Amino acid sequence: MTNKADDNTDWLSPAALKPVFDGRSVLVCISGGIAVYKVCTVVSRLAQAGADVTVCMTKAATEFVSPITFQALSGNPVYTSSWEHIESSDPQHIALADRCDVALVAPCTMNTLSDLAHGKTDSVVTLILSAVDRKRAPVVLAPAMNDGMWRQPSNQRNVEQAIADGFTLVGPGDGWQACRHVGTGRMSEPEEILRGLACALGNGGGGA
């Protein structure tokens, strides 16, 4: 698990991001939490660094930020359904899983974390991720939820299972939450997430 960026690199700067992400295919999977707004920065910085960014969103995620925002920031179509084949007649979830170099789930809700830990494929996000070979393309989860949700025994079991299954976690951090609690479960900031992705790709030091 990585937490706060502990080196001196500015992981929001093009100078740090371009050497790592230029020409890389990054799948950004978004589930339904209030922290979706922070992922706009992540997608924008990846695109500016030259990454080919594909965004997929659960139905709940689209309640927080419109897919149009991520389409504009990434410059690519956004996948919001397992049943719409935007680019080709091939099964989109296999093609997207095969072509990504690294995948991010941010925010990763309690529900999506549970689905990943249990091998469920009901949303477009979990369906695509079910086909990603994590030995080839690391999958980084950035959990985000209320502190009480984070501490639930079921959630803690799912975290342990996800780690045992080869997912990498960035955060969560401590602090102010949108539900007006202060505690653990706050999604990591964009620079910590970008550093985590870089580490997962074997850059940035430390190994996420």
Ligand X SMILES: Cc1cc2nc3c(=O)[nH]c(=O)nc-3n(C[C@H](O)[C@H](O)[C@H](O)COP(=O)(O)O)c2cc1C
**Cα dist. 28→7, 39, 54, 126, 176 in Å?**
24, 9, 6, 12, 25
- Touching ligand X, residues 153-182 (CB under 6 A): none
| Segment contacting ligand X by CB under 6 A, of 7-15, 26-34, 162-170, 193-201 | 26-34
Among the listed residues 40, 100, 179, 199, the single catalytic one is 179
| Segment contacting ligand X by CB under 6 A, of 3-11, 45-53, 58-66, 93-101 | 58-66
Per-position DSSP letters for 121-161, written without gaps between them: --SHHHHHHHT--TTTS-EEEEE---HHHHH-HHHHHHHHH
Among 111, 158, 168, 184, binds ligand X (CB under 6 A): 111
Which of these, 3, 42, 40, 2, lies nearest to 21 by C-alpha position? 42
Among 33, 138, 171, 196, binds ligand X (CB under 6 A): 33
Q: Does the bond joining 67 to the residue before it have cis omega, within 30 degrees of 0?
A: no
Contact between 204 and ligand X by CB under 6 A: the answer reads no
Whether 56 is catalytic: no
Contact between 2 and ligand X by CB under 6 A: the answer reads no
Among 14, 34, 71, 85, binds ligand X (CB under 6 A): 34
Contact between 196 and ligand X by CB under 6 A: the answer reads no
